[in-house]
Amino acid sequence: MSARPRSVVVAVAIPVVVAVVAVAVGLGTPGAAAICVGDRTVSKSALDGQLAEWADLEAAGIRTTAGAVSADAGATVATFAVYELLIERFLRRVGETVVAEDRQLARAAAGQIPGFADQPASFRTRYVEQQAAFAALGRLVGTDDQGAAALRVLRREARRSGVEVAPVYGRWSPVQVAVVPVVPPPVR
């Protein structure tokens, strides 16, 4: 008789533990969120794809091994993805959009990057769209040498919307207005 209650407890406990772990890790699906800014997300698979393409851009000099980048470089690419979402939020809030002039500026700047034309079309398109968003922000808030006006807007939008980053890509630092690498605890 005593074996029966234990088997019932085990039969109930295992599915509960599996369900909790599955929710905690996002079911391990490639579409799980890497970045959340308000109600917008960038999936892990999308960000991983961007990181792999950046690793293949020789001019960037961020490759550590084939298809991989350093933690600092990964945090930088994640920061740009966060910025793009924050800029989109800002543009929607003020009733503006990225315009042809912004895209033209972005394409001209991209054309100056050695090896850019040799990159996959998906990378080139993504890069130009991201840079066009930055150009739109600059057009609306002005530009300065340090980017202080743009950083004020990004900080305000981040505070309003909330920013979450999956730890594998770093952590959001509201003070630095950037994704920073997660530093492992020291080994004792």
For 8, how many CA atoms within 13 A lie in the half-sphere containing its CB? 5
pLDDT at 2: 54
pLDDT at 5: 53
Looking at the DSSP bridge assignments, the partners of residue 171 are 180
Mean pLDDT (10-residue bins), the chain, 188 residues: 49 39 38 88 86 66 60 85 95 96 94 84 88 94 83 95 93 94 81
- Contact present, 141 and 133 (Cβ < 8 Å): no
pLDDT at 27: 40
pLDDT at 187: 82
**Opening angle at CA 28, ends 66 and 25, nearest 5:** 115
Alpha-carbon gap, residue 7 to 11, rounded angstroms: 6
Which amino acid, one-letter code, is at 159?
A: R
- Domain borders along the chain are 31-176
Tokens encoding 116: 């850019």
Q: Is 35 helix (H, G, I), strand (E, B) or coil?
A: strand
pLDDT at 3: 55
Whole-model pTM?
Answer: 0.74
pLDDT at 68: 62
E-strand stretches of the chain:
33-37, 40-43, 63-65, 68-69, 163-165, 171-173, 178-180
